[in-house]
Amino acid sequence: MAIDQLKTLLSESGPPESQAREMINTMNHFEVARLLHQLSVDEKVIIFQYLEDDVKRQELLYETDQESRKEISDALGLDFMAPFLEGMPKDEAADILQEQEPEVQEKILEQMVPDEARTLKSLIHYEEQTAGGMMTPHYYRVSPDEIASEILTKMIRNPSKDSVTDFFVVGENNQLMGFFTLRDLLNVLPNAKALEIIREETPKVLLEESCEKIANLMDHEHLSTVPVVDEQNTIHGIVTFDDVFRALKQTADEEIYTMVGATETDPFAKKTSRKIAARAPWLFTTFIGGMISAFVLKSFEVTMAEFTTVIFFIPFVLGLAGNVGIQGATVIVRGLATGDIQSDNLSRVLRSEVKVGLFNGIIFGGICGATIVIFAETLLHTSPALGVTVGLGIVLAVAMATLIGSLTPLLFLKLKIDPAISTGPVVTVINDIFGLVIYLFTATTVFSIL
């Protein structure tokens, strides 16, 4: 669907309002949500109001870009947003509410039904990418003594959009006793009690568990929902597969932006200043690294003056070392995020990464060094010792880059900082500085001996 079609419907020369309403309601509202950022605020509000189905409105608001969502919310006002959010799935309403300023959140919550407000307050209390932040409080809850026929009848009369296949057996004080699936329910006698149907083991997550760990659990156990409990095994809600998928996508976006030194911002945001403010700190890190590298070059000025051909291979050495460092850091960060790397196999993974990096350094250092030795006098008009310098410099720089790339994410993890940050400018800048020092020091040592 072209954006021009939407703009034509909303223009003064377009069809009458009744016809425009009808056409907009026949469109795929998910596709409309994707295109909203190209419209003015007034046009966004008109499209939102033209939708006749509240579910479509809710999905359009949730699926569109953040800036469009905020513009629509601000234009409609608190009197509209409070009851509108009450009708949405609670986890989605909590996500939208978290985007508002704290004072706006309070005003919206004050206008809600007390029970709804309390539920949303409990959800926005947790960080967005945790089990508590993603969970929905609505699920199929059954008591231990309920029989299969009653449970099935209740499900048919009161279908839930959040969980259509899983049932959670809850005892006194909201203690989670176990779960079973719809298939389990259909394969027992009608008078079988819920306590007799539950599975031997019940996978569950704590309120503060990360999205990556939940996804890992769902993948290993082949689950579509996971119950969320506290330390006392009190169930607070469930996390569904679609919520985890959405959160993983957002996490992946954040990590990709971070890796290139551009903290995630809405790509459709109109305020250039917001994008500049998000990226400037990372560029400042690169700026500091560049200044330090300049001082390093200055300190080896004599060596470079005597052996100018050494300069030609600086980009090659730094580029190779930088790529090896980023590879090692990415492997560690990804393994930590998915849960594949644990304390029991961490040392083995580190040894493997260091070994791979070191051998790559030896291979490419040997190839490059031998090539320079062969052609040093004929093409470069310099001593074959340059080949030894470059080859040895590559081996040492790559070895150091491997250690930096593998250990930096662990250091960030110890400092309770997102390890994904280390795979961006941090590792790159550190590798450039150390690689430059190692290469020029190697050159000075080799040429002084020879």
pTM of this prediction exceeds 0.85: no
What is d(CA 362, CA 273) in angstroms, rounded to the nearest whole number?
Answer: 46
User: Which amino acid is located at 347 in the chain?
Assistant: S
Q: Would you list the domain boundaries of the chain?
A: 3-129, 140-259, 272-449
What is d(CA 433, CA 311) in angstroms, rounded to the nearest whole number?
Answer: 15
What is d(CA 450, CA 442) in angstroms, rounded to the nearest whole number?
Answer: 12
Residue listed under structure tokens 């590298």:
293
* CATH class of segment(s) 272-449: mainly alpha
At residue 237, what are phi and psi to the nearest 5 degrees?
165, -165
Give 3-129's CATH code, choosing from 3.40.630.10, 1.25.60.10, 1.10.10.60, 3.40.50.1220. Answer: 1.25.60.10
Ranges in the chain, pLDDT < 70: 1-2, 159-164, 251-279, 282, 302-307, 337-339, 418, 420-424, 450
| pLDDT, position 278 | 61
| pLDDT, position 170 | 93
User: Which amino acid is located at 5 in the chain?
Assistant: Q
Question: 420: closest CA among 347, 294, 334, 304?
Answer: 334
Overall fold of domain 140-259: CBS-domain (3.10.580)
| pLDDT, position 127 | 79
Residue 306: HSE in the Cβ half-sphere, 13 Å Cα cutoff = 11
| pLDDT, position 253 | 64
CB count in 10 Å sphere of residue 402: 27
Report the DSSP pairing between strands 225-229 and 205-206: parallel
Q: Contact, 163 vs 225, CB < 8 A?
A: yes
What is d(CA 257, CA 41) in angstroms, rounded to the nearest whole number?
Answer: 27
| pLDDT, position 261 | 55
Which run of H or E residues covers position 140?
strand 140-142
